[in-house]
């Protein structure tokens, strides 16, 4: 494997629609300003409330950019996000999950 490193950036997205839209907007700006990130983590999600209704969402993301195609330390490999989020490597036979919102 080729040795490599990972560049990380933080960006905040905002939306008056949803948290998902705030994330999508942040990723769009990141892709236009830098390049498309390889992974992201949600650091914070917050909102503003008026008259009992959420009126605005703000989400701060930690973005990861691989500086090499692969890294022998695993910091930017394709499975980096899954190891951080799940505590193990991604299994190819694992079922994907979808969060349902009511």
Give the H/E segment covering residue 13. Answer: strand 6-15
- Written as six digits, the tokens of 78 are 């394709």
What is the per-residue pLDDT for 7?
Answer: 86
Give the H/E segment covering residue 81. Answer: helix 80-86
Q: Which residue has the higher pLDDT, 23 or 95?
A: 23
Determine the Cα–Cα distance for residues 37 and 102; give it in Å rounded to an integer.
30
Contact 68, 2 (CB under 8 A): yes
- In order of their start, the domains of the chain are 6-86 (3.30.1660.10)
Going by C-beta distance under 8 Å and a sequence separation of 6 or more, which residues neighbour residue 27? Answer: 13, 36, 37, 40, 61
Q: Is the pTM of this model over 0.75?
A: no
| 37-88 pLDDT per residue, tens | 999 999 999 999 999 999 999 999 999 988 754 444 445 555 555 555 555 5
Q: Give DSSP secondary structure letters for 15-40.
A: ESS-HHHHHHHHHHHHHHHT---SEE
Phi, psi (degrees; rounded to nearest 5) at 81: -60, -45
What is the per-residue pLDDT for 67?
Answer: 75
């Amino acid at each position: 494997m080729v040795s490599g490193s990972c560049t990380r950036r933080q960006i905040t997205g905002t939306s008056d629609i949803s948290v998902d839209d705030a994330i999508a907007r942040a990723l769009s700006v990141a892709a236009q300003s830098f390049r498309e990130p390889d992974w992201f983590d949600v650091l914070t999600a917050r909102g503003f409330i008026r008259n009992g209704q959420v009126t605005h969402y703000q989400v701060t993301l930690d973005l990861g950019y691989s500086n090499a195609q692969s890294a022998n330390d695993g910091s930017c490999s394709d499975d980096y996000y899954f190891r951080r989020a799940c505590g193990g490597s991604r299994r190819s036979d694992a079922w994907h999950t979808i969060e349902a919102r009511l």
